[in-house]
């Protein structure tokens, strides 16, 4: 290995990148953390997160500041396929919805306060530095400026989101692809009445104006008195939907009376944002000198709100693997191959549920029965919500065997 400036260079400084840097710093490793954005800055994402993410924020020393943000503690998940309270997990029993310009900035400031972490925002990574067949560093450029910089490290980590530059430049292979499923749009409203207890709520129905057999609205009470209100349609209706986003967004909300009952009382507080560019894929998690975390390594449609939790989960696993390598317990290849296996095992059940691969594996009849049972059996509903929040390992609920066993047990009882 030639010159090394840092143990790790992390490209992307939001949930996955800041968490990775902080987990590395906790073990005494040095990090260069880069992001092309300047903070505070929003990103295209709604922001529901669960106790698994709160647990990671606690590990990373950011929980106190996050809990000090003025945001209602959401006690129930009320989605079209399940309704149950959020389970207790390490003393926390609620979900939060905090705008990303607030949440990501708290994490980034925490990272910047660590002596091991050098933060450069407003800095775009423009190339990878290769050395003898392995990635040895990055080239970067300040957003306002022409001068290129170069930094070298033992590992370059792509935490740069679903369109990851690092993944493309390193040639990371993609697998288990599923075509985009939905297009999602959202905005913020003021003065939307809170439900009791405050809940993350979604409603579904068809939206024939744009030819969608399935559409859904969601209301997530957020920070600063805002309610995040969203509406989405199945992907084949995306082109028609986006011809007039504003009109279709509000017509869609009106078409779901339970949603409109609350939304109609609010005042629009921002523009409508959204996208239909939501690929579902895993990427190879590593190669010589590089690794991927967060959306860069696995992206899935956000309708099950797994993105932020998966980002911190993969960050924790990656840093454990790097530590094994750097302490000489395993070679780079052993440690990072294990990271990929563990990441995939952790993420796969919810990935398959989110992308309807699980439904396809068990067949429609069993799946419909499973969903019906969820409304008849409060304990099953609780287990499903516990699996979504990772209070319970999702494999205990969202694998073909687990689904079949649940249905079989109900049939014989």
Ligand X SMILES: Cc1cc2nc3c(=O)[nH]c(=O)nc-3n(C[C@H](O)[C@H](O)[C@H](O)COP(=O)(O)OP(=O)(O)OC[C@H]3O[C@@H](n4cnc5c(N)ncnc54)[C@H](O)[C@@H]3O)c2cc1C
Binding residues (CB under 6 A) for ligand X: these are 11-12, 14-17, 34-37, 43-49, 124-125, 159-161, 165, 184, 274-275, 294-296, 302, 305, 307-309, 311
- Tokens describing residue 351: 């990935």
Q: Which is nearer to ligand X, 66 or 125 (CB)?
A: 125
Question: How many angstroms separate the CA atoms of 381 and 374, rounded?
Answer: 5
d(CA 212, CA 289): 45
By beta-carbon proximity to ligand X, the closer residue of 298 and 403 is 298
How far the first Cα of the chain sits from its last, in Å, is 63
CB-wise, 16 or 403, nearer to ligand X?
16
How many Å apart are CA 352 and CA 362, to the nearest integer? Answer: 11
Name the percent of the chain in helix, strand, coil, to the closest 5: 40, 30, 30
Q: CB-wise, 16 or 117, nearer to ligand X?
A: 16
Q: Are strands 226-234 and 212-221 parallel, antiparallel or unpaired?
A: antiparallel
Cβ neighbours of residue 65 closer than 8 Å, sequence gap 6 or more: 106, 110
Residue 91 neighbours by CB under 8 Å, 6+ apart: none
**Cross-strand bridge partners of residue 188:** 228
State the residue number with the nearest CB to ligand X.
307
Considering beta carbons, is residue 166 or 397 the nearer one to ligand X? 166
Structure-token match 């969601």, residue found: 218
Contacts of 94 (CB under 8 A, 6+ apart): 51, 73, 74, 75, 86
Min dist. Cβ of residue 156 to ligand X (A): 11
At closest approach, how far in Å is the CB of 45 from ligand X? 3
Residue 409's closest CA among 380, 368, 378? 380
In angstroms, give the least distance from the CB of 128 to ligand X. 10
Closest CB 52 distance from ligand X, rounded Å: 10
Question: Cα 55 to chain center, whole Å?
Answer: 15
Give the shortest CB-122-to-ligand X separation in angstroms. 9
Work out how close the CB of 335 gets to ligand X at its nearest, in angstroms, rounded to a whole number: 21
β-pair partners for 123:
142
Shortest Å, Cβ 288 to ligand X: 20
Write the DSSP string, 308-324.
HHHHHHHHHHHHHHHHH
- Closest CB to ligand X among residues 108, 407: 108
By beta-carbon proximity to ligand X, the closer residue of 343 and 406 is: 343
Report, in Å, the least distance between residue 397 CB and ligand X.
18
């Amino acid at each position: 290995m030639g010159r090394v400036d840092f143990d790790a260079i992390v490209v992307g400084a939001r949930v996955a990148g800041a968490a990775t840097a902080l987990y590395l710093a906790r073990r005494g490793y040095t990090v260069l953390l880069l992001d092309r954005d300047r903070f505070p800055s929003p990103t295209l994402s709604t922001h529901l997160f669960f106790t698994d993410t709160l647990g990671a924020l606690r590990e990373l020393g950011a929980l106190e500041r996050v809990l000090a943000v003025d945001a209602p503690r959401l006690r129930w998940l009320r989605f079209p396929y399940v309704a149950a309270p959020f389970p207790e997990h390490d003393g926390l029993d609620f979900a939060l919805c905090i705008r990303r310009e607030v949440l990501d900035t708290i994490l980034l400031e925490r990272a910047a306060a660590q002596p091991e972490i050098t933060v450069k925002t407003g800095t775009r990574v423009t190339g990878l530095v290769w050395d003898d067949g392995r990635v040895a560093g990055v080239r970067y450029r300040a957003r306002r400026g022409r001068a290129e910089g170069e930094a070298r490290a033992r590992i370059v980590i792509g935490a740069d989101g679903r369109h990851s530059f690092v993944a493309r430049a390193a040639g990371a292979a993609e697998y288990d692809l599923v075509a985009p499923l939905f297009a999602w749009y959202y905005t913020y409203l003021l003065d939307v009445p809170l439900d009791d207890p405050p809940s993350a709520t979604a409603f579904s129905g068809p939206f024939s104006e744009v030819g969608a057999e399935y559409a859904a609205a969601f209301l997530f009470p957020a920070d600063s008195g805002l309610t995040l209100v969203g509406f989405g349609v199945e992907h084949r209706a995306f082109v028609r939907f986006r011809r007039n986003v504003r009109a279709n967004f509000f017509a869609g909300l009106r078409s779901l009376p339970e949603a409109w009952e609350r939304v109609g009382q609010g005042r629009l507080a921002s523009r409508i944002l959204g996208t239909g560019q939501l690929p579902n894929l895993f990427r190879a998690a590593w190669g010589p000198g590089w690794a991927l975390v967060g959306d860069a390594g696995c992206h899935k449609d956000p309708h099950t709100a797994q993105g932020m939790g998966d980002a911190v989960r993969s960050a924790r696993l990656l840093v454990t693997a790097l530590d094994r390598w750097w302490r000489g317990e395993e070679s780079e290849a052993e440690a990072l191959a294990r990271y990929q296996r563990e990441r995939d095992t952790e993420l796969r059940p919810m990935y398959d549920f989110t992308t309807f691969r699980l439904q396809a594996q068990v067949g429609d009849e069993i799946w419909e029965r499973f969903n019906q049972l969820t409304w008849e059996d409060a304990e099953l509903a609780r287990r499903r919500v516990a699996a979504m929040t990772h209070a319970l390992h999702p494999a205990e609920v969202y694998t073909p065997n687990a689904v079949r066993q649940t249905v079989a047990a109900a049939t014989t009882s």
